[in-house]
Structures are given as C-alpha cells and as structure tokens.
Amino acid sequence: MRRRPRRLASALALAVSGWVFLGQAQAQSLIPVLEGAGGDVRTSVAQPETTSQASGGYVRSVEPYLGPLADPFGLRAFLKPRGVEYSLTYIADVLGNPVGGVRRGAIVEDRLNLRLNLNLQTLAGWEGATIHANAYFIHGTGLTRYYVGNLTEVSGIEALPSSRLYVLWLDQRLLDGHLGVRVGQQAADTEFFVSQTATLFVNSSFGWPAITGLNLPSGGPSYPLATPAVRVKYTPNDAFSLQAGLYDGDPAGANRPGDDPEAQRLNRTGTLFRVRDPALLIAEAAYAYNTGKGDAGLPGTVTVGGWQHLGRFDDLRLDTFGRPLADPASTGLARQVRGNAGFYGILDQTIFREPEKDDEGASVFVRGAFSPSRSSLVDLYLDAGIAFKGFIEGRSDDTFGVSVAHARIAGSARRADRDAAFYTGAPMPIRHAETIVEATYQALIVPGFTVQPDVQYVFHPGAGIANPRDAAGRRVKNAAVLGLRATVQY
C-alpha cells in the first residue's frame, strides 16, 4: 500500500524534469482539434490541452513521440480504417493541504480512462450511427474526503478506488447530422452545464457544480456514476443548439442526495443500469456567436438550462408532523417533499485572441445557478474565472488560469443547524457557504502530455461545519491546497 504513492510521486517528478528536456518539442506541435468541450463549436480560445472533466474532448496524442512504441503490433493502424478507434488518458495527482482542513495531509491518486468508438457506418453500413464506451480505473485516496472536508472536491478525479464502466451509448445522427439521438448509459456532466474555459481547472466543481452534485440523488448522473438515459440534441447550424436529456434519477439507488461514498459502493462497477427510479429531466439551449472566420467580434457562447427531478426527498429541517427534526419530541422521520429543480446560465467569452490564431489568447467564464426547492442543500451557486493560453512568451500551448466558486447553503439547512444548537444547548457553528479560489498553470511537454501545478484555497470547508476531530467543536479551518497533476493522452 505504501509503495504505489512513492512510484507515482517519482513518475510526476520525472514528468517535471521532462519539461526541461522536451520543452523545445512545442515547435513541432501537431495541429489541435478545435472542438469545444461538451461537443459544441469551440468559442473559448483558452480551452486546455488536457482536462479531467468528462466534458473535455480528446485533443492530441503522444503517439508520434513514442517511436517504436507508438503503435504496438500495428493495432491502431489496423483498426482505424475498419471503424474502430480507441484512446487512453492517464491522470496522476499529488495533492496536500499544509494548512487547515479537518487535518493536514497529502495523497496520491490516479485514473486511467479507456475510450472506445465504433463507427457503425464503416463496420456495418449503418449510416450516421456510432457506439461509444468509456471505462475508468481509479486508484488512490481523496484529499477532500480524508483531509480537507470541503463540499467542492479538490480534484475532478477523486472517487473511491474501483474499475468501472462509465458510459456506453449508441448515437444516431439524423436530418443530415443536425439531429442526434443518444440512447444508453450516459452522464449529464459530459454535455450539460459545461463551460469550455472552466475545463482547465482541477477542482471538481468547475465541471459538474456543487449545486447539482449535492442536491441530486447519488450526486446525479455525473463522474464517477452514469445512468441509463435518452438524450436528444438539435443543432440547425453552428450558432444554435437545443438539447434535452431524460435520465434515471438515481445512478446507485442510494436514495439520498449528495456525493455519498455509499452510492459508489452500491454501484461499484458501473453496471447497475437502474431504470425504475424517478426520472431526472435536464434541458439546455446554447447560442454561439462570432464563430465565423470573417466575423469582426470575438467568439462566445450564452447558455441557459434547467433541471427537474421527479422523486421525493427528505425535508432538511422538519419531521412528518412539522416539528424540527432536532426537537427531542420529533418522530425523527423527515417530512417528504416532492421534486428538486433548478435553473442555470453560463457565459463563455473570448476577450483576447492572438492575431491569425484560433487557439491562443484569453477567455472568461461565468456560471450561475439557483435551486429554490425545499430539498436543496445548496440553493445558490456561482463561479467565474479567466484562462490565458500562451500567457508566457514562447510557451504558446501552455494555459494559465484563475477561478473562484461559491456555494451557498439553503435557508432550511441553516435553520436546521440553529434548531440543533437550540435544542442541545451546545454551541455549534451554523453552515453558511463555501468559497474556493484556484490558480493553475498547465504546461505542455509534448502534444498530449501536460504537467499542471495547482494552488487552491478553501474558505469555510463544508460551508463552516464543526471539525469532528476538534473536541471543542470549532469550525474546520480554512485550507490551502498545493498540488501537481500530470496527464498523458494516447
């Protein structure tokens, strides 16, 4: 158990050293695939080379730099003309909180991602049809779960160790490719609530935000849990898209909201395929502007969307008779409330672009969401940030970014905390909000291989919960997180 972290830490150290020797290889960079995260047209010039977020696209591979190991046995060259493509992405994180949190510590975690695409038109003459599968092999210990205690997980790859199927779906293109119908096991965070610029950041909330991850059962259909679903997407042109998804509302059957480790244990391999839980409906419209070559303005995307879960949830404060749950006379059984809903808006805007370059410059993003449902732990979520690709002269493929995320605890949950303090007579903190600030720099070693130093600061971890390791019941202290990520795409 102790040897693996040392090996991975050594690998990351070698990766940093490799930057010194391979940095000149940037001059030989292959042309990246200019596709936006979430599958829409790319409007953020600062979208990173690699990302841990499920919405991020596979951009470039290290294959051309591997010499005789580039394609063992010629497997890729043999399969691709026959409609079969595969790719691998390996991410390793070394993270620690030298200050604050529940306790101080450090961890190593890693994830291997295997993707498989089958072009059914090439394989079987089925026009416009594709099968996609994605599996994860996850190892290590999460810094949030064991050390920091925050709501917005420090790393987007944090999960319980497992080997699991993530998604497996069939996509059928109709109407000359303008209409896509996707059926099978899917994750909402691959296409909904996506900011292209935000894919740079390491903290998980810049992917699937805390307002959905904490309010929906089992964290909702998002990493590391997907669920059977049907998604329909209509794109009449490059400027506009409209999509809606109908998902099974509980990927693991944990029957309680939030990213609970028990949910991952209940669906340990990702093959539970639940279809009888109350449904989750998500819908979204996006408008992209200034995407043409001759457009004078800078590109951007405006997105609006919302979700509705049709299940029943526990009231956060009251029992079946309307008494506070903290009241000793309470039944101890939470009152049931129907549904959970919310809506959101996103702006991704390029604010500067290097002349005659499509993928170098600065972009900003702003996301906001509100969930007024009585079952919502988080009722307001906001995040924003800026990313700059080519921030340092001579490092045109490196990306630097700064971001902030804020999750506010709903009034009913705050009142429940006050009830507990009143009825027990013991002083205890009242949860209010958690805010995180992140600064990161993704350095390209060669196309498909990046090293990413990362710094985060968490204000009021857990929104201001009491530290379970503090006998006096004081709040968890603000935490500083230092980390290093290495990512290889093949």
Q: Which of the two residues, 152 and 295, has the higher pLDDT score?
A: 152
pLDDT in tens, 259-310: 778 899 999 999 999 999 999 999 999 999 998 877 889 999 999 999 999 9
Position 328 scores a pLDDT of 93
DSSP string for 136-176: EEEEE--HIIIII--SS-S-TT---SEEEEEEEEEEEEETT
The partner residues of 432 in beta bridges, in order of sequence, read none
pLDDT surpasses 50 at 49: yes
113 exposure class (CB count in 10 Å sphere: 0-12, 13-18, 19+): buried
Position 26 scores a pLDDT of 36
Lowest-pLDDT choice from 23-27, 58-62, 228-232: 23-27
Tokens, residue 385: 């940030």
Residue 472 — very low, low, confident or very high, per pLDDT cuts 50/70/90? confident
pLDDT surpasses 90 at 358: no
pLDDT surpasses 90 at 215: yes
Count other Cβ atoms within 10 Å, centred on residue 236.
Answer: 11
Mean pLDDT of 434-443: 98
**Rounded Cα distance, 165 and 366, in Å:** 32
| Mean pLDDT across the chain | 91
Tokens, residue 472: 């006096």
Count other Cβ atoms within 10 Å, centred on residue 240.
Answer: 14
Residue 34 — very low, low, confident or very high, per pLDDT cuts 50/70/90? low
> Kind and range of the H or E element at 262?
helix 261-266
**Which residues in 290-432 belong to E strands, given as ranges?**
300-319, 334-353, 361-370, 378-389, 399-409
pLDDT surpasses 90 at 15: no
Position 24 scores a pLDDT of 35
**Rounded Cα distance, 16 and 23, in Å:** 10
pLDDT surpasses 60 at 473: yes
Q: Which of the two residues, 276 and 471, has the higher pLDDT score?
A: 276
Q: Which of 90, 21, 19, 92 is nearest to 61 (CA)?
A: 90
Tokens 């009241």, residue located = 327
pLDDT in tens, 156-192: 999 999 999 999 999 999 999 999 999 999 999 999 9
Residue 313 — very low, low, confident or very high, per pLDDT cuts 50/70/90? very high
Mean pLDDT of 318-332: 93
Q: Which of 111, 169, 103 is nearest to 139 (CA)?
A: 111
pLDDT surpasses 80 at 35: no
Position 6 scores a pLDDT of 43
**Rounded Cα distance, 243 and 282, in Å:** 8
pLDDT surpasses 70 at 72: yes
Position 29 scores a pLDDT of 37
Lowest-pLDDT choice from 17-31, 103-117, 300-314, 404-418: 17-31
Q: What are the structural domains of the chain?
A: 3-489 (2.40.160.180)
Position 36 scores a pLDDT of 85
Q: Which of 216, 167, 221 is nearest to 189 (CA)?
A: 221
Q: Which of the two residues, 87 and 258, has the higher pLDDT score?
A: 87
pLDDT in tens, 37-46: 888 889 999 9
Amino acid at 415: R
| Strands 84-101, 105-119: pairing kind | antiparallel
